[in-house]
Amino acid sequence: MFNDFHYALELIYEFIRGTRLVKKSVLDVCETRLTNFMLVWNDAQDYIEMGQMLEDPEAELEGIFRVFDSFLLLTDLGRGCWDTYWRVGNSMQKFVAKNVLSGERTLVNLMNEYFILANNISVFFADYFFKDWLSFAYYSGDTVYRLIVVQHEANFNFK
């Protein structure tokens, strides 16, 4: 269950990293803490399973203790992820007000980024074929960045 949850959060991380709404270092605050929690949690689960396979109640009890011990990481994880969530939310409000509500901005960005956006389409096909969903999430975010987030100016001076 937690592995699927962790994978879903990694997909969201890759998407937001692709949009470049905040610096990677800000995103890594949450991602690193989440990964550390999941590693400790999975190690504790493995310890319980090992105790069950060996029919050793003390090893199983140690695994249960390690599960509860992993909960100590949740405070640090919650603080880090809340800070990241807050920064992404602020960035989204600014970009939505400037870019999303202006269709002209998206069209100007499309004209300036058309080559890279065309390359993203081929990446989407490859990611779908190889079932590389983390890369798919990143390039989906990159497409959002190139269409909505980036700030190109309309310059039609052909001199």
* Average pLDDT along the chain: 88
What is the separation, in whole angstroms, between the first and last Cα of the chain?
Answer: 60
Looking at residue 137, its pLDDT comes to: 95
pLDDT digits (tens, 9 = 90+) for 46-65: 999 999 999 999 999 999 99
Full-model pTM:
0.79
Residue type, 6: H
Q: Tell whether the model's pLDDT for residue 1 goes beyond 60.
A: no
Residue 74 predicted with pLDDT over 80: yes
Q: Give how far Cα 23 sits from Cα of 79, 88, 91, Å.
A: 18, 10, 11
